[in-house]
Amino acid sequence: MDGCFQVECSEGGQSDTASDDEAFRSEVDAFLEAALTDELREAGRETTGLKSSRMACADWGDKLRKRGWIAPSWPTAYGGAGWSAAQRLYFENACAEQDAPILMSSGIRTIGPLIIAEGSSDQKARYLPPILSGEHEWCQGFSEPHAGSDLSALSLRAERDGDDFVLTGSKIWTSFAQHATHTFLLARCDPKSSKGDGLVFLLVEMDRPGINVRPIKFIDGEYETNEIFFDRVRTPAADRVGDIGGGWRTAKQLMAIARSNNTTTGLLRRALRAAQRAVAEQGDADSDLMSCLASLGQRVHEFEALEARAAIGQLGVEPAPSSSVLKLLATELHQAITELCIESAPYSDFAQAKYFATRAATIYSGTSEVHRNILARAIGCP
């Protein structure tokens, strides 16, 4: 892979030998070169959101599974690749450079690692293998109509009845719930509680009677998010992670895992390559566009250096503010790149779809304002 900010791939940044890192990179490059067909590369290039087409994801997922690389962050004991943070970063960037499809599986990136860290042995046995095989797909049921940025205001009710909880209420903006076999969600199990107290973190099968998924269509016609309605849905109380009443702590742990699992330079590299193509297709592009492209390329390179240092714990700040810095910089830079795409190719369907898709990036996983608040608090503002 050319032009990559090089970090040592061995765990904690302490490379045993430079040749180990070199061997890892060569192995990844050779695999991608051989495994990515023209169709898969095309699907990767055409992706405007966080996931490639389902067909491309299935095909690419199968190849990664056979190679043992479907779950880069999972320990090998659970069927993962067992890679260090720096190795994962290299892999994500190499996939971006080679136009691999984007998988972005919630099971592999968020709930799987949480179950590995906190789940019971029964949950590990029941849930981890079907996540790896692709049989189970998960969605995240956190936001509600009156609980987005202020998530702890959520009110989905979980009433205890024998060995079950009975769920009543709704969730909103749930990405890919239309394909999900399971959802992990937060519900209020103590009706007298408020804020982060009295919550439970549950693993729920989507085909339970009383669950109804309704699509939300975006302004550009895309369909990715949903409302989920729960009408007295019975679900086993044993299918929770963490203590009854301690759901908020579990949710915070899940978010920390999700952030540490996600590397975003790959997405920026893909967007930059799309902008380069859009400018190149113009023929004799004007010098303002070229200079804008060069400056965005420089910013991606700087972001990559920052993300690489964060991945191996070298930023010297706590994980929470450092992930807010990365989220803010990456999503706002992503938007700037897609603005250049639109300027270069205003009538391109791809440029328009990508522009709309990245508008949402400064809303989901915490809005830019919320992350700025976190940073303000981290530097001691009242």
Ligand X SMILES: Cc1cc2nc3c(=O)[nH]c(=O)nc-3n(C[C@H](O)[C@H](O)[C@H](O)COP(=O)(O)OP(=O)(O)OC[C@H]3O[C@@H](n4cnc5c(N)ncnc54)[C@H](O)[C@@H]3O)c2cc1C
Provide the binding-site residues for ligand X, judged by CB under 6 A: 139-143, 148-149, 173-175, 225, 360, 363-364, 367, 369-370, 373
Nearer residue to ligand X within complex by CB, 1 or 147: 147
Nearest to 131 by CA among 209, 52, 73, 193: 73
CA pseudo-torsion sign 280, 286, 288, 290 = positive
- Which residue, 180 or 292, has its beta carbon nearer to ligand X? 180
Instruction: Give the nearest distance from C-beta 235 to ligand X in angstroms.
Output: 18
Of 47 and 344, nearer to ligand X (C-beta) is 47
Cβ proximity to ligand X, 36 vs 370, nearer residue: 370
The tokens describing 292, both together, are 């804008």
Residues pairing with 182 in the sheet: 138, 205
CB of 56 to ligand X, least distance (A): 20
Distance, in Å, from the CA atom of 9 to the CA atom of 312, rounded to the nearest integer, reads 9
b/e map of 328-337 (b: 16 or more CB within 10 Å)? bbbbebbbbb
Report the C-alpha gap between 50 and 104 in whole angstroms: 6
CB of 179 to ligand X, least distance (A): 12
- Sign of the C-alpha dihedral computed for residues 263, 264, 270 and 272 taken in this order: negative
Determine the Cα–Cα distance for residues 326 and 304; give it in Å rounded to an integer: 10
CA angle 262, 265, 266 (to 5 degrees): 85
Find where tokens 């293998």 sit: 129
Backbone angles phi, psi at 226, to 5 degrees: -145, 165
Q: Least distance in Å: CB of 296 to ligand X?
A: 23
Q: Decide whether 303 or 356 has the Cβ nearer to ligand X.
A: 356
Q: Least distance (Å) from ligand X to the CB of residue 175?
A: 3
Closest CB to ligand X among residues 15, 373: 373
Smallest separation (angstroms) from ligand X to the CB of 372: 8
Q: Give the span between the Cα atoms of 219 and 167, in whole angstroms.
A: 31
What span, in angstroms and rounded, lies between the C-alpha atoms of 328 and 335?
A: 11
DSSP 111: I
CB 361 within 8 A of CB 336: no
Of 158 and 312, which has the nearer Cβ to ligand X?
Answer: 158
Q: How far is the CB of 373 from ligand X (least distance, A)?
A: 5
For ligand X, the nearest residue by Cβ is 148
Query: To the nearest whole angstrom, how small is the minimum distance from the Cβ of residue 139 to ligand X?
Result: 6
Residue 97 or 144: the one with the smaller Cβ distance to ligand X is 144
Whole-number minimum distance, CB 333 to ligand X, in Å? 18
| DSSP secondary structure letter of residue 245 | B
Residue count of the chain, please give it: 382
**CB closer to ligand X, 1 vs 363:** 363
Q: How far apart are CA 76 and CA 79, in angstroms?
A: 5
Backbone angles phi and psi of 31, in degrees to 5: -60, -50
